[in-house]
Amino acid sequence: MKKSLFALAAVTAFAGAAQAQSSVTVYGVLDVGYVGANQRAAAPNATAIKGTSSSFQSQGSESTNRIGFRGTEDLGGGMTANFVFESSLNTSAAVWAPGIRQGWAGLTQKGMGAVRIGTQNSLIWQLAAPMTTGQLNNIAGSVVNATAVNAPLTNDNVNGSSGVAFTNRTQRTIQLDSERMAGFQAKAMYVMNNVNTTQTTATAPTVGYTGGENNQNGWGLSLDYTGVPKLRVAAAYTALNADNPYTATQAQVNAGTGYAVGTPTPVGGDGFAQAGTNVKDNQMFAAAMYDFGILTAYANYVNRKITSQQTSNVYGKRSAQEIGVRSYITPKVEGWASVGNGRYSIYGASAPTANIFGYQLGANYWLSKRTNLYAIYGQVGTTATSANSALNTNNYAAGVRHTF
């Protein structure tokens, strides 16, 4: 009887130890509140001025709403298996219609590094999230994190959209991470989103296609240094390609407009979920931050050029720089401020250019480590070009954010 009890206890202890080697964590963000905006646009020759105002119950102003599952399992010998599955949440929808933000699985080997495969945040996003003053909030004002109303990259994108400055995530991506050595960590990613498809006949619904290889892929590198106490410096570069052959006259190619099929468009904010068309999309981000104790200072630079696959004379180009500070004013009150400027060129043979400017102010009142009230105000504007209106927008929000 005693032997049976001892055996049962041993089996139970072993099962408990084995179970303790793996874990799954549920995490997420719920951010709701109020948002408003005022926008004023002037025609290129100041012949017409229009303004709009809006205000409504909002979600995700400070952090995009999401729910995720993060798992790890100890495989022994210094190796662990990891996975992340993360979905967006829409608190304003009548039904739950989730969108995949991340979904990857990988392995980590102590002393070597990590590999993971699946839908992932881009290398630029991974650095920009902790190294920009506003930490990728969704209110206008940051010229580096151009996710609200901001400078366009195409003639049709006058008011800006998510992912103007850089692509947030890509599908079908393999990422390799080194261990941090002497303060340095390197990462590399490769994207192969589509199987190569060669079309030889022009049939519906692809009217206008003349055949050729249809593929979307890309690669990226990043280097992050945190060896000096209180200092962090990092940079990332990403090159994405979208090749989708179509029929177009040389005049259409040179003008950058008037395509019957396949107008060049950039890779969207959600990566190949919003696939680009017939472009080479090159993106670069650099950042530095230093903790002075009473505040943390930030400096950022971003550059993006989207070139037509047919001719290098047709391109959209955007660059911007920004500085800011973030600090705890009291143990519960955190504030930040940023200011930046830049320049962009839109598609077309003449590539008209415009200036970008913006600033943002924000504050958090921390009720606990996971819950805070917030207020954010931002303003951003662009000067007029021969093709686009001058634009000035102020954007503000107040709400409550829970993280779990």
Choice between 286 and 345, residue whose per-residue pLDDT is larger: 286
Interatomic CA distance for residues 144 and 338, integer angstroms: 10
Q: Are 314 and 254 in contact (CB under 8 A)?
A: yes
Q: What is the pLDDT of residue 347?
A: 62
Q: What is the pLDDT of residue 242?
A: 81
* Residues belonging to the chain: 404
Type of residue numbered 13: A
pLDDT tens figures, 123-143: 999 999 999 999 999 898 999
- 């190294």: which residue's tokens? 131
Cα three-residue angle 375-169-159, rounded to 5 degrees: 55
Q: What is the pLDDT of residue 154?
A: 35
Residue 53: CB partners within 8 Å, gap ≥ 6?
36, 37, 38, 39
Q: Taking residues 294-323, what's their average pLDDT?
A: 88
Report the run of H or E that residue 363 belongs to, with start and end.
strand 353-366
pLDDT tens figures, 32-70: 999 888 877 665 544 445 566 777 778 889 999 999 999
User: Could you tell me the pLDDT band of residue 241, with boundaries at 50, 70 and 90?
Assistant: confident
pLDDT tens figures, 319-374: 999 999 999 999 999 999 999 999 887 665 556 788 889 999 999 999 999 999 99
Interatomic CA distance for residues 168 and 189, integer angstroms: 13
User: Could you tell me the pLDDT band of residue 214, with boundaries at 50, 70 and 90?
Assistant: low
User: Could you tell me the pLDDT band of residue 314, with boundaries at 50, 70 and 90?
Assistant: confident
Interatomic CA distance for residues 281 and 69, integer angstroms: 31
pLDDT above 90 covers a percentage of the chain that reads 47
Instruction: Tell me the H-state helices in 143-283.
Output: 250-255
Interatomic CA distance for residues 166 and 275, integer angstroms: 13
Judge if the upstream peptide bond of residue 205 is cis by omega within 30 degrees of 0: yes
Residue 290: CB partners within 8 Å, gap ≥ 6?
230, 231, 232, 296, 297
- What domains appear along the chain, each with residue ranges and CATH number? 41-403 (2.40.160.10)
This prediction has a pTM of: 0.84
| Cα–Cα distance list, 328 to 3, 366, 389 (Å) | 61, 10, 39
Strand ranges (E), 160-230: 169-178, 184-192, 197-199, 212-225
| Cα–Cα distance list, 322 to 101, 134, 184 (Å) | 27, 11, 24
Residue 327: CB partners within 8 Å, gap ≥ 6?
294, 295, 296, 334, 335, 336
